[in-house]
Amino acid sequence: MASESVPITAVAELAGVSVATVSRVINNSKPVNAETREKVEAAVAQLGYRANAIGRILRKSETRMLLVLVPDFANPYYAEIVQGVESVTRDRGYHLLLADAPQRWERGATALDALHNRLADGVICLAHIDPESELHKEIAPLPWVACSEVMPGSKVPHVSIDHHQAAVDAVQYLLNRGHQRIALITAEEEFLWAQQRRQGYLDAMARAGIAVDPRWIQTARKADYADGHMAAGALLSLAALPTAVFAVSDTLAIGAIKAFRRAGRQVPQDIAVVGFDNLPLSEVFEPALTTVAQPMRELGAQATRLLLARLAGETPASLTLAHSLVVRESA
Amino acid sequence: MASESVPITAVAELAGVSVATVSRVINNSKPVNAETREKVEAAVAQLGYRANAIGRILRKSETRMLLVLVPDFANPYYAEIVQGVESVTRDRGYHLLLADAPQRWERGATALDALHNRLADGVICLAHIDPESELHKEIAPLPWVACSEVMPGSKVPHVSIDHHQAAVDAVQYLLNRGHQRIALITAEEEFLWAQQRRQGYLDAMARAGIAVDPRWIQTARKADYADGHMAAGALLSLAALPTAVFAVSDTLAIGAIKAFRRAGRQVPQDIAVVGFDNLPLSEVFEPALTTVAQPMRELGAQATRLLLARLAGETPASLTLAHSLVVRESA
DNA sequence: GTGAAAGCGCTAACAG
DNA sequence: CTGTTAGCGCTTTCAC
């Protein structure tokens, strides 16, 4: 009833028992006489008692909160991962603490405070962490797992897809359809995945015995539409236009397609385009995008299970989840 | 250095002072002798001491955490609002507790536990709350504010746009371009905004002296592409095709445009379409969508300020933020 | 099966 | 300016 905080002592008093007994009843931690239990339960109900989480946490020094470090909330890719995280935290009775992982990490007032201050039991990091950075030094000794972004050489448990193989699959698909002059539109490689996807492209081409013309490879600054547009422009200026493009993100792919069309080229007839990510948008865009899909929710869920296992004292192995090529109209 | 938790007593001991003095230094709460301060700071640095948030919270019974109830993380609309929330919580030194607000609220194990258990100081609710529901009974006595979803008749502080006026503006734009037979594609009206946008359409039409043919109004079950597609199909079967459509969401608008085009109609030449939301997608889609934009980030930020003010004992007034019509190609 | 009491880490009131 | 002490709300020995 009351919105006011009612402490366990009030319940004990009303029920005519000790606080220890109340605690036993609400936690089912030890056998309690049925009659006593009823008295306690009645008192709990009457007062609308809810155990204060803070008192409990202080005592047990376990917060049952997990911190999620997200590079960008508004990016649906991360949003879906968070959804996956949430699905398992909810089941396990954990709460989710969300923090923005800013590009430039300021010493001191960081999102990691929550963890340092023992507000959270562990961290799930979706952000890229430079091994040389302040952030890495801060986070290294903490119980954390990486999701989607894998740190090379780091021994931290992580879950992600095999970006290299996914790129190989995408390019192989193009190869199988008879393409030879396959271009790559990639992004600057601060993010490891960009690097890995690039290598996948290179390896698939090499395995097919195709010499890659360096001008087929366009590196965009970021990965938005405008960048894709520009990269496609560069491709368009080539004497022999590639017959297919693998873009390392759907946004890049869409920007490129727009450029091709503006130049009077048909997709996929004149030039086929494969993207990466399977954004909701890629289904609606015309032509609908052929693209590589990642299991985002699963990525988040597994990362969470990994962290929970780690917190439980286990030493779980990192996980690589399956990707899939979604074939639509653009290639 | 040590990742192990070091208590304030350890710092006091090392510095040769009392815990009270340590507390004063780290909180700057009372003047401390410069020399003493230095000793304490040295000890803090040496031990890598970080004040345990839980102890502090228990003592001050203020968690500096805010709970955000989100209907759907993966929906970019909510994601951007959360971004706005985060921007102010970060500035004010609050943490963000994120919870999914499920459609069907199960009694007991709810996301509101966090609040009942005093884990959070207040709630920002982005979800629709039926005044008759369990959830409403639960949340009513708590410190909360509504964001984007406004409860009719409820006295809870809220921030949102004027959906009615926004719809009037959209329809008026169409009217100004000479359209008369303007159709409405709306969604089932569990959400108040759908109802308000519908009324805006009706009022704008009435004010223009145009009798609305009931068949112009198509009500979709949900608000996804397929629904827009279906609604457009119904419109297409009319003897006199409307010359314009106002769709209460961009997804509906895009679904409709696809249907029109499939039927050989040009947008906007044969039929103009205005959407609502200004999703990222609406800019990329072809034709680029003319649509109503909401200031999502601002919505989140203001809601947070409202809550914070409320927690500070003030009684802030609800806010209505400005929307804007973004004119592109579809109308 | 139950109660008394200690103590998690911290801040603030009170003395000095 | 600094130290002593109480106590926030809870769980968990340890007795009985």
pLDDT in tens, A115-125: 889 999 999 99
One domain for residues B96 and B125: yes
| Number of Cβ atoms within 10 Å of the Cβ of B209 | 7
Please check whether strand C approaches the CB of B7 to within 7 Å: yes
Q: What is the CATH number of the domain that holds B31?
A: 1.10.260.40
Three-state DSSP class for residue A217 = strand
Please check whether strand C approaches the CB of A58 to within 7 Å: yes
One domain for residues A205 and A230: yes
Give domain status of residue A269, yes or no: yes
At residue A1, does pLDDT exceed 50? no
One domain for residues B177 and B243: yes
Q: What is the CATH number of the domain that holds B107?
A: 3.40.50.2300
Three-state DSSP class for residue A124 = strand
Give domain status of residue A218, yes or no: yes
Inform me whether the C-beta atom of residue B288 falls under 8 Å from chain A C-beta atoms. Answer: no
One domain for residues A154 and A169: no
Calculate mean pLDDT across residues A101-109. 61
Contact A5 B142 (CB under 8 A): no
Give domain status of residue B58, yes or no: no
DSSP string spanning B133-157?
Answer: SHHHHHHTTS-EEEES---TT--S-
One domain for residues B16 and B136: no
Q: What angle do CA B23, B28, B30 make, to 5 degrees?
A: 80
Give domain status of residue B152, yes or no: yes
pLDDT in tens, A190-225: 778 889 999 999 999 999 999 999 999 999 988 888
One domain for residues B288 and B304: no
| Number of Cβ atoms within 10 Å of the Cβ of B95 | 24
Give, as ranges, the nucleotides of chain C with any atom within 7 Å of a protein CB. Answer: 1-5, 7-13
One domain for residues A174 and A286: yes
Give domain status of residue B183, yes or no: yes
pLDDT score of A134 = 76
Give domain status of residue B327, yes or no: no
* Number of domains into which chain B is organized: 3
Q: What is the pLDDT along chain B (331 residues), one digit of tens a residue?
A: 445 789 999 999 999 999 999 999 999 999 999 999 999 999 999 999 999 999 999 999 999 999 999 988 888 889 999 999 999 999 999 999 999 887 666 555 567 888 889 999 999 999 888 788 777 887 888 899 999 987 777 788 999 999 999 999 999 999 999 999 999 999 986 778 889 999 999 999 999 999 999 999 999 988 888 899 999 999 999 999 999 999 999 999 999 999 999 999 999 999 999 999 998 889 989 999 999 999 999 999 999 999 999 999 999 999 999 999 999 999 9
pLDDT score of B309 = 96
What residues of chain B lie within 8 A of the CB of A52, using their CB?
A: 117-118
Q: Name the nucleotide nearest A58; use CA and C1'.
A: C8
Give the nearest partner residue to B97 out of A96, A113, A284, using CB atoms: A96
Domain boundaries, position B37? 8-51
pTM attached to this predicted model: 0.92
One domain for residues A42 and A186: no
One domain for residues B169 and B102: no
One domain for residues B95 and B243: no
pLDDT score of A189 = 67
pLDDT in tens, A138-188: 788 889 999 998 777 778 899 999 999 999 999 999 999 999 999 999 998
**Mean confidence (pLDDT) of chain A:** 92
The amino acid sitting at A42 is A
**Residue A204's Cα: distance from chain center in Å?**
27
One domain for residues A229 and A183: yes
Q: In what order do the strands lie in the sheet with B272-277?
A: B217-220, B182-187, B244-247, B272-277, B290-293, B324-326
Inform me whether the C-beta atom of residue B280 falls under 8 Å from chain A C-beta atoms. Answer: yes
Give domain status of residue A329, yes or no: no
**Residue B168's Cα: distance from chain center in Å?**
22
Ordered alpha helix ranges (H), B95-223? 113-116, 134-139, 163-176, 192-207
Give domain status of residue B56, yes or no: no
One domain for residues A169 and A280: yes
| DSSP 8-class letter at B107 | S
